Amino acid sequence: MSIEGLRALVADFLAGHDPRTTDRLEFLRARYDAGLAWVAYPQGHGGRGLPQAMQPEVDRLFAEAGAPDNRPGTNGIGLGMAAPTILSYGTEEQKDRFLRPLWTGEEIWCQLFSEPGAGSDLANVSTRAVRDGDGWVVNGQKVWTSGAHNARYAILVARTDPDQPKHFGLTYFLCDMTDPGVDVRPLRQITGEAEFNEVFLTDVRIPDSQRLGAEGEGWKVANATLNNERVSIGRSAERESGMIGVVARTWREHPEKRTSELHDRLLRLWAEAEVFRMTGARLRQKLAQGQPGPEGSAMKLAFARIAQQLSGLELEILGEDGLRYESDRGWSMVRPETVDFTGRDAGYRYLRAKGNSIEGGTSEILRNVVAERVLGLPGEHRVDKTLPWKEIPR
């Protein structure tokens, strides 16, 4: 389909669903059903199998018409990670059940991967899922779970066979966060907020119909999720979007704070942010519609570095003003509904950006991924790959 054809479809849809008079949810559901939600998704699941590159134009047309959006900031994990994984590995029933309310934002998702003993080494998770009739019973502890306090569902990796080597005994589930065995406790972050949580799972029941992928295939499915996470972080279409936009604005608004040294550093980072944007565009074209592979890791590495350098520079530009952390809510403990890397004030941005090189795989792990999976360099000496999981010393 041409972009003109797509524009006509949106116009048709808008003619039939006046955004000013249609109920918000009804509007979003209808947009999904019309295949105008995520246009790269297949027919019947909110899309039309079109190139991903057409998405920004569709979003722009809807925004221009004053249409409600699906509040993507509240459901980053759902949209960026759960959805593409369900699309790749889900049964038709699972896609039918989960994708639509996910896209409309009726159901928010979180990611129950990391554990106290399994962060970088995700394949080491010890949360156990044991078969019980037509379902599973899950016990264990997860940690750093962003947005668990808002989530209706979670993507979950659990160990189903401790006798297998670590990568082969894992299974991937879709977990109902309203199950009585799910206990979500806030974990406060260096910004003062509790964006992430500890999640204790006690005899949580998951029907087998909510297993995603085959039993024992959890590592493969989880990698699909992680690869999607890494390309979805920091995707920026517009020049000066993201952190560079914020810092450029600060610069323009404060002529009194300018020095040639700061100017030089800002311009270096501006150029890097622009190169990052082009690299992202090029990578997306290269991948076309296929599933992202480990190449996205290099993008996420660059994203974290640039965001951190820019937000650090911003505080130096602001000087005295950067010493103040008073806008909005200060250090008070809140449980936010959205994650916004570029929101609030410069101090918040600086601190929050520190998470960018930890969440979704640390920068060290991503360098290993690039070195080993993209460049084919040999891995480090490891003792834990071939032993049955339960025999690994910890």
Ligand X SMILES: Cc1cc2nc3c(=O)[nH]c(=O)nc-3n(C[C@H](O)[C@H](O)[C@H](O)COP(=O)(O)OP(=O)(O)OC[C@H]3O[C@@H](n4cnc5c(N)ncnc54)[C@H](O)[C@@H]3O)c2cc1C
Which of 195, 229, 314, 359 is catalytic? The answer is 229
Of the two residues 295 and 384, which places its CB atom closer to another protein in the complex?
A: 384
Among candidate residues 215, 208, 234, the one with its CA nearest the CA of residue 298: 234
Smallest separation, CB 135 to ligand X (Å) = 23
Q: Pick from 362, 371, 388, 392: which binds ligand X (CB under 6 A)?
A: 362
Look at strands 196-207 and 135-143 and give their pairing: antiparallel
User: Residue 63 or residue 387: which is nearer to another protein going by CB?
Assistant: 387
The residue nearest ligand X at its CB is 119
Count the residues in the chain.
Answer: 394
Give the tokens for residue 111. Answer: 């990611």
Token reading at 272: 């890097």
Is residue 137 part of the contact set for ligand X (CB under 6 A)?
no
User: Which residues make Cβ contacts (< 8 Å) with residue 165, sequence separation at least 6?
Assistant: 385, 386, 387, 388, 389
Give the side-chain half-sphere CA count within 13 A for 92.
2
- Cβ 184 to another protein shortest distance, Å: 16
CA atoms within 13 A on the CB side of 110: 26
Helical (H) or strand (E) element with 187: strand 182-187
Please say if 57 is a catalytic residue.
no
Min dist. Cβ of residue 213 to ligand X (A): 17
User: Measured from the CB atom, is 110 or 307 closer to ligand X?
Assistant: 110
E strands in 264-320: none
Q: Is 144 near ligand X (CB under 6 A)?
A: yes
Sign of CA dihedral 47, 48, 51, 57: negative
DSSP state of 73: G
Q: Which of another protein, ligand X, none does residue 1 bind (CB under 5 to 8 Å by kind)?
A: none
Work out how close the CB of 92 gets to ligand X at its nearest, in angstroms, rounded to a whole number: 27
List 120, 285, 289, 386, residue binding ligand X (CB under 6 A): 120
Residues 6+ apart with CB under 8 A from 318: 250, 254, 257, 346
In whole angstroms, the minimum distance from the beta carbon of 290 to another protein comes to: 29
Sign of CA dihedral 237, 2, 75, 177: negative
The two three-digit tokens of residue 289, written as one number: 């519609």
Contact residues toward another protein (CB under 8 A) are: 114, 117-121, 124, 143-144, 187-190, 192, 196, 259-262, 308, 312, 315-316, 319-320, 322-326, 330-331, 333, 347, 350-351, 354-355, 357-358, 362-364, 367-368, 380, 382-384, 392-394
Which is nearer to ligand X, 315 or 358 (by Cβ)?
A: 358
Query: Which does residue 324 touch among ligand X, another protein, none (CB within 5 to 8 A, set by kind)?
Result: another protein
Identify residue 296 by its one-letter amino acid code: G
**What distance separates the 2 farthest-apart alpha carbons in the chain?**
70
Mask: binding to ligand X, 173-202, rule CB under 6 A, as x and -?
Answer: -----------------------x------
Which one of ligand X, another protein, none is in contact with 111 (Cβ closer than 5 to 8 A by kind)? ligand X
Can you give the binding site for ligand X, defined by CB under 6 A? 110-111, 113-114, 119-120, 144-146, 196, 355, 358-359, 361-362, 364-365, 368
